[in-house]
Structure 1
Amino acid sequence: MSTLSRRHLIKSTAALAAASALPMPAWAKGQSLSHARKGFGEVSGEDIELAIGNHHFAIGNRSGHAVAVNGTIPGPLVRLREGQRARLHVTNTLAEDSSIHWHGLLVPFQFDGVPGVSFPGIRPGERFTYDFPIRQSGTYWWHSHSGLQEQAGHYGPIIVESADPDPRYDRDYVVLLSEFTPLHPHDIMRKLKVGEHYFQRDMLTASEGTMPGAMRRMWGKMRMNPRDISDVTGSTYTFLVNGHGPQDDLQFAFVPGERVRLRVINGSAMTFFNLRIPGVPMTVIQADGQDVDEVEVDEFQIGVAETYDVIVSPPAGSHAIVAEAMDRSGMGIASLTSHKGHIATPPPLRQIPTLTMADMGMMDHSAHSGSGMASMEGMDHSMRDTSALPADVEAGPGVDMVAPMPMDRMDFPGLGLDTVSHRVLRYTDLRARRMNPHREIDREMEIHLTGNMERYMWSFDGRKFTAVTDDPIRFGYDERVRVKLVNQTMMAHPIHLHGHFFELVNGADHMHQPLKHTVVVQPGGTATFDLTANEPGDWAFHCHLLYHMHAGMMQVVTVRPFPEGAEA
């Protein structure tokens, strides 16, 4: 067990703040770099070597600097076995610190891979060994937790083979969704700070649509636009499937009659995807690597950092796997085909969705009033009335919106999917396949997701995370806590807790609440989970939208016995 102290970790992260003093990297000097290959190889066994390095990457007509692992984007598929011990030797050839976080794997906290929280990071030229037992099976992924390297290509998939093989499928594929941009991620962050609408190309105009004038004026007073859905869009992103762009004609082969398992991973930095295979139903069998009762759907929205495993039995022919960005600014494409070389024709992009009163945390009265205007009087004031917030939420400049009536939105399928005619997955459809141990709740707590969109400030409870906090969220070891997340903003946030699985309070009986490591909290809504804090150590807790986390929506969760006499 590591003996690293928090004080030592704070000191060791000083290198992050001093990054500008490091030698200028080769890519910044204009020196030639090797080209990262599209797609990924596979590594397995008890000793695995991974090397992080600067590369060049090109997709379509976009090209630029990238951070690749073992020379590919995404990095290699790490294939492990339930019950084995893994030693992953990571060499950092960058001129800056780096790291790898094993997203969803249950590991000792000192191998969780978050600089400044669980270890110091991997310095330039150093080799670090992650050494831990594999205690689970399922579909997961890995990525950098240093700076904004994840956006530049530093991520890859994980498959942990079960000790008990699943007979329900004949072959399986990883479908890793992500994005590439030629812009350096720090340049993206700077542009978002200057103007949060910088990458928007489809804003609602004064003459477009049927929105009443008073509603438009209300949106204007709030300095918001009802199509401000994604911070970074297809205007700069090319959406990827396994590192391949839409023009690459990526194919997954099958034989008619086979049952094919698709392990869908959202490894993007900022993009929610709506995934469907037109004409082919999908049976969901896992969420975040954990078995769920089978549920058949035609489409599902997958938040950043979530995974869903589905089984499909496609008829002969070629079928488009469509990963459409939630804001409909582009899509990732692949073909599931029984005829090698035959490429499926994807459907066109659908109409751009528009935020509603429900996304403001307001009840929509339009069905009763005929105009939706009944509750608009004074709405702008109520949405900025910070006196309605709990006393422990800091109502400073980082909070510019308060949802007047936040409600549980577990049954919401995701923006743009609430009006389609086919079957769409909802959190309320998920039910754990195996029974959870029954535990009474020891206490309840609320955490508020807060932000100022115009200033691009994001936080929990109005407090921005700066690197290492002296005031973490504290749980006693083995304490059972019901956590309610309240989204005071008009953007969906995928919230991830390291080191644990929690149970969604989604309407299933308490013995079958589904286990997840990431939960999407819808705009103006709430989401609740039950956590048994049984993994000791210090763990990151954050929004998995990369630039939101970088801007402050992160906190440390510490799990340990409380000092004698201290209150929980």
Structure 2
Amino acid sequence: MPHRSQHLLSRRNLLQLTGATSLGALAGCTGQLPGSDDGARGREVSPRATVTAEPDTSVSLTAASGSIRPSPDTSTTNWMYEGQFPGPELRVQEGDVLSVELTNDLQEETTIHWHGVPVANPVDGVPNVTQDPVASGDTFTYTFRAEPAGTYFYHSHVGLQLDRGLLGPLIVEERDPHVEYDHEYVVVVDDYLPGEPELPSDGGMGGGGMGGGGGMMGDIRPPYEGLLINGRLPENPQTFDVTEGERIRFRFVNAGSATVFGVRIAGHEMTVTHADGRPVEPVDVDSFVFGAGERYDVVVEATNPGTWAVQADALDGNEPPASAVVEYESAGEGSPQRPSPASNQLRYRDLRAISSLDGVNGDPDRTFDLTLSRGRGQSYTWTIDGQAYPDADSLQIRPGEHVRIRMTNQSPVVHPMHLHGHFFQVGNAIKDTVIVPGHRGQVTIDFHADNPGRWLFHCHNLYHLDAGMARVVRYVE
């Protein structure tokens, strides 16, 4: 186990990252407008049609059980797409039509969600909201236009299946990138659970200390046995080969189910170029923190020959950091050098989107004030305004509205909140997932109601979601 000083993270770091109290001020305030009560008897608006054009790329993904080996001395049974963990990288050009046929060879139902891509509602992959789950032995085809460009990922949206390994990266390439780079690597950061995931109320996640229990943020976490980069434990790190003078783009994806990660690359500064796939004005940092579901693209200039560690520490756990290696072709033998302590960490207020979000300006047409909290009583329950999904009111909106959601987190635990089907503005950034800090942390998001249907809005900590921290955003007229 690494010495405690290796962990660069603390609640203070997190508050600095998010600017917890300032984001609401940046977004402005208005009086409360009617929310779920308004339009409760309104007619539901039909979602936009799915793509009927011939696909540019067709892919088959079979979900099945299999064995993985994250290190030479470690193996376990996992669920995988196409026998791979993480699942196969899907890479298409912006604007291409992608068709993915899912075959379910598991013994229970499943779906695929295209995290961050504002697809048409019927192919969003949320069971019993946008589609019937795919039964064991059945198939389902998802067809959508891959836009806008960005770093995304796909995963099951049924129960706790994400923490069994059903995930993979989805890369939609720009036709004209706003930054120059010579080549790129995708870096999927994850938490490693060798057994079947369970909620604490079902007998899972008992005890404290390593992996389970309280962790730094006071939450109950699964008994993780390690942290992964691209499916590998730190004793079996992947090597990213670089040549001096190159500019390398790293696409970082937090595919973890219950872990907030802090990322550093030893010996190198990172220039953040994209947040959740959306381009931002380049900003130089030596570290960044991201919650489950968030993505950051960074460009690194290869000007410091040697062998260097890419390190992802857990904010909310005590596992050794996930690791990979950046190795110059001129490097000799030797262990990779570890990162220095963080001194210039990315904050949300550093992020400035290249282009504005259409339909979001001035005062909102509709505002929701939502409280995130732990449910009362002995059961493991997480709520939004005291209601636990699926026994929760929908948030009803009308097409074309500028919608504002103001969140206050009454729990001591961070919540990475994700909105399906839309990007939102937070401060000067455009994202689809945002960390809401604990201890009365506040974050405000604004979005344009331009994608009719039923959309899930939820915490991307898988266990908080499964224990009720979700609502359906429903279009009515």
Using the size of structure 2 for normalisation, the TM-score is: 0.82
* Higher relative contact order, chain-length normalized (CA < 8 Å, sep 6+): 2
TM-superposed deviation, 1:154: 0.2
Contact 1:451 1:457 in 2 (8 A): yes
Q: 1:28: which partner in 2?
A: none
AA at the equivalent of 2:432:
H
Which secondary structure does the structure 2 equivalent of 1:179 belong to? Answer: strand
1:275 aligns with 2:263: yes
Following the alignment from structure 1 to structure 2, what is the Cα–Cα distance between the partners of residues 89 and 284? 34
1:428 aligns with 2:439: no
Q: 2:242: which partner in 1?
A: 254
More strand by share: 2
Q: 1:200: which partner in 2?
A: 209
Greater CA drift, 56-65 or 299-308: 56-65
Following the alignment from structure 2 to structure 1, what is the Cα–Cα distance between the partners of residues 276 and 472? 21
Q: 2:422: which partner in 1?
A: 500
**Aligned match of 1:523 in 423, 434, 438?**
438
TM-superposed deviation, 1:132: 1.4
Following the alignment from structure 1 to structure 2, what is the Cα–Cα distance between the partners of residues 159 and 202? 31
Following the alignment from structure 2 to structure 1, what is the Cα–Cα distance between the partners of residues 332 and 382? 46
Following the alignment from structure 1 to structure 2, what is the Cα–Cα distance between the partners of residues 169 and 124? 43
1:231 aligns with 2:231: no
Unmatched tracts of structure 1, length 5 or more = 7-43, 204-223, 351-419, 507-512, 563-568
Following the alignment from structure 1 to structure 2, what is the Cα–Cα distance between the partners of residues 250 and 225? 30
Relative to structure 1, is the Cα distance of residues 227 and 514 closer, same or farther in structure 2, using a 3 angstrom cutoff? closer
Q: How does 1:178-189 map to 2 (within 5 A)?
A: 178-186=190-198
Q: 2:385: which partner in 1?
A: 461
Following the alignment from structure 1 to structure 2, what is the Cα–Cα distance between the partners of residues 538 and 435? 25
1:331 aligns with 2:342: no
Greater CA drift, 51-60 or 435-444: 435-444
Q: Deviations over 1:184-228 (max 9, x none)?
A: 1127663457x5xx243499xxxxxxxxxxxxxxxxxxxx97944
Greater CA drift, 445-454 or 285-294: 445-454
Which secondary structure does the structure 1 equivalent of 2:198 belong to? Answer: helix
AA at the equivalent of 2:346:
L
Aligned residues: 417
Q: How does 1:50-65 map to 2 (within 5 A)?
A: 50-60=61-71, 61-65=73-77
**Aligned match of 2:80 in 61, 65, 68?**
68
TM-superposed deviation, 1:439: 2.6
Following the alignment from structure 1 to structure 2, what is the Cα–Cα distance between the partners of residues 57 and 445? 44
Q: Deviations over 1:7-60 (max 9, x none)?
A: xxxxxxxxxxxxxxxxxxxxxxxxxxxxxxxxxxxxx95211111001122334
1:143 aligns with 2:149: no
1:445 aligns with 2:368: yes
Which secondary structure does the structure 1 equivalent of 2:345 belong to? Answer: coil
Q: 2:26: which partner in 1?
A: none
Q: Deviations over 1:487-546 (max 9, x none)?
A: 010000000000000000x2xxxxxx2110001000121001111111100011110001
Following the alignment from structure 2 to structure 1, what is the Cα–Cα distance between the partners of residues 332 and 93? 33
AA at the equivalent of 2:314:
A
Provide the alpha-carbon RMSD of the alignment: 2.5
Contact 1:261 1:311 in 2 (8 A): yes
Rg larger in structure = 1
AA at the equivalent of 1:114:
V
Contact 1:274 1:299 in 2 (8 A): yes
Relative to structure 1, is the Cα distance of residues 201 and 182 closer, same or farther in structure 2, using a 3 angstrom cutoff? closer
Q: Deviations over 1:121-141 (max 9, x none)?
A: 111111111111222101000
Q: How does 1:279-428 map to 2 (within 5 A)?
A: 279-314=267-302, 315-326=304-315, 327-339=317-329, 344-345=335-336, 347=338, 422-428=343-349
Contact 2:214 2:220 in 1 (8 A): no
Relative to structure 1, is the Cα distance of residues 236 and 202 closer, same or farther in structure 2, using a 3 angstrom cutoff? closer
TM-superposed deviation, 1:231: 2.6
Contact 1:335 1:344 in 2 (8 A): no
AA at the equivalent of 2:63:
I
TM-superposed deviation, 1:329: 2.7
**Aligned match of 2:401 in 476, 479, 498?**
479
Following the alignment from structure 1 to structure 2, what is the Cα–Cα distance between the partners of residues 188 and 56? 26
AA at the equivalent of 2:135:
R
Using the size of structure 1 for normalisation, the TM-score is: 0.69
Contact 2:191 2:256 in 1 (8 A): yes
Q: 2:30: which partner in 1?
A: none
**Aligned match of 1:84 in 96, 99, 113?**
96
Contact 1:138 1:162 in 2 (8 A): yes
Q: 2:10: which partner in 1?
A: none
Relative to structure 1, is the Cα distance of residues 81 and 149 closer, same or farther in structure 2, using a 3 angstrom cutoff? same
Q: Deviations over 1:426-455 (max 9, x none)?
A: 111111112344633223221110104864
Following the alignment from structure 1 to structure 2, what is the Cα–Cα distance between the partners of residues 522 and 304? 13
Contact 2:211 2:224 in 1 (8 A): no
Contact 1:265 1:307 in 2 (8 A): yes
Unmatched tracts of structure 2, length 5 or more = 1-42, 45-54
Following the alignment from structure 2 to structure 1, what is the Cα–Cα distance between the partners of residues 462 and 399? 29
Following the alignment from structure 1 to structure 2, what is the Cα–Cα distance between the partners of residues 443 and 202? 41
TM-superposed deviation, 1:346: 5.3
Following the alignment from structure 2 to structure 1, what is the Cα–Cα distance between the partners of residues 84 and 310? 22
**Aligned match of 1:169 in 181, 195, 199?**
181
